[in-house]
Amino acid sequence: MSAVRRRAALVMASVFIPVVVVAAGFVFLVNAQASGPFESQRIYVNPDSQAAEAVASGSADAVVERVANTPTAIWLTPEEYGIGDVGGYVRSVVTDAATTDSTPVFVVYGIPNRDCGNFSAGGLSASDYPDWVEEIASNLGEGQSVVLVEPDALSLAHECPDEDVQVDAVAGAVATLSVTESWIYVDGGHSNWRSPEDMAALLERVGVDSIRGFSTNVSNFNPTDDERAYAETLSGLVGGAHYVIDTSRNGAGSDGEWCNPSGRALGATPLTVSVSGAMDGNLWIKAPGESDGTCNGGPPAGEWWPSAIDEMARNAGW
């Protein structure tokens, strides 16, 4: 059954079941939904994350080890996994996840004019991008992976040279991924960005009705309650689409800055926030400890920043 048909058939439950997830010798406790994208009750833990690499190098403490064993989304970028490589990598993750009956969470992040020239600038050419997305889609297999499509792309589109070109590129990616068996969420910005009405129009343009729904707060810091309110309003405007919230770094809320702000804290670990309405769950989408860019003393976007993870963990009481 496709993800689209499943969405129409599912009734979201508010009953939670304690589940023990074991990864690399670490026991991770989550509260899993009784139905929906996280029905398998386990989210895949990437053994090759930067946090895991820090642990393996012997340069990390117990806090970083705990972060390394917390399920976090795997970001697919053409700079790391280009055409000819990304498919094999996706297939290897899906295969590994199947051995533990866990659900991998991927982020597709390679749109042309990515980040519209900001700190995460890059991405593929307009001609290569569809082929890259198709390679990802064709290697997801029949398992129920979760795929998050192009964080910030719709919200930032008006700052790119041609908004329509950016929106059309997202629509193409959504269309390609929508025919897979995976649960697809296209990024819907966050509560302090575009209005729900503006975002609803964009989500409708890219075909949100053909997929599971949308994501919010990716790589941002807004409080979960604010994101719930925003997402519920947005869901109501787009036919009841479901959503997930990134809680990886929102434990202390936002101070209005988006790029490596100080004083932030790790947020609720995946699937530990009670769901209601159209919410499917909370996830760690942005990997805590990875820089937002060369701002506020940070290294280039995506690089591991030990002092940042130390501060966020300390502020969260870890």
Pick from 246, 258, 218: which is nearest to 119 by CA? 258
Residues 25-46 have pLDDT tens digits of: 333 334 334 457 887 668 999 9
Residue 95 has pLDDT above 50, yes or no: yes
Please state which of the ranges 73-87, 109-123, 276-290 shows the lowest mean pLDDT.
109-123
| Residue 152 bears catalytic tag | yes
Residues 286-309 have pLDDT tens digits of: 999 999 999 999 999 999 999 999
Pick from 108, 107, 109, 98: which is nearest to 44 by CA? 98
Determine contact, residues 308/270, Cβ cutoff 8 Å: no
Q: How distant is the alpha carbon of residue 69 from its chain centre?
A: 17
* H-helix segments, the chain: 3-9, 50-56, 62-68, 86-99, 129-137, 153-156, 163-178, 196-205, 224-237, 306-315
Torsion sign across C-alpha atoms 64, 99, 275, 202: positive
Strand partners, 31: 18
Which of 96, 101, 128, 152 is catalytic? The answer is 152
Determine contact, residues 214/186, Cβ cutoff 8 Å: yes
Strand partners, 185: 148, 213
Where do we find the tokens 């010798």? 25
Mean pLDDT of the chain: 89
In terms of Cβ atoms closer than 10 Å to its own Cβ (0-12, 13-18, 19+), residue 310 is: middle
Domain of residue 240 covers 3-315
What's the CATH number where 106 sits?
3.20.20.40
Q: Please give the share of the chain, as a percent, with pLDDT higher than 90.
A: 81
Between CA 150 and CA 211 the distance in angstroms is: 14
Residue type, 93: V
Residue 12 has pLDDT above 60, yes or no: no
The model carries a pTM of 0.89
Q: How many domains does the chain fold into?
A: 1
Return the C-alpha torsion angle 206, 212, 218, 223, nearest 10. 120
Which of 115, 187, 226, 246 is catalytic? The answer is 115
Pick from 109, 103, 178: which is nearest to 145 by CA? 103
Strand partners, 242: 213
Between CA 130 and CA 165 the distance in angstroms is: 13
Q: How distant is the alpha carbon of residue 168 from its chain centre?
A: 21
Determine contact, residues 230/213, Cβ cutoff 8 Å: no
Q: What are phi and psi of 213, to 5 degrees?
A: 165, -135
Residue 20 has pLDDT above 90, yes or no: no
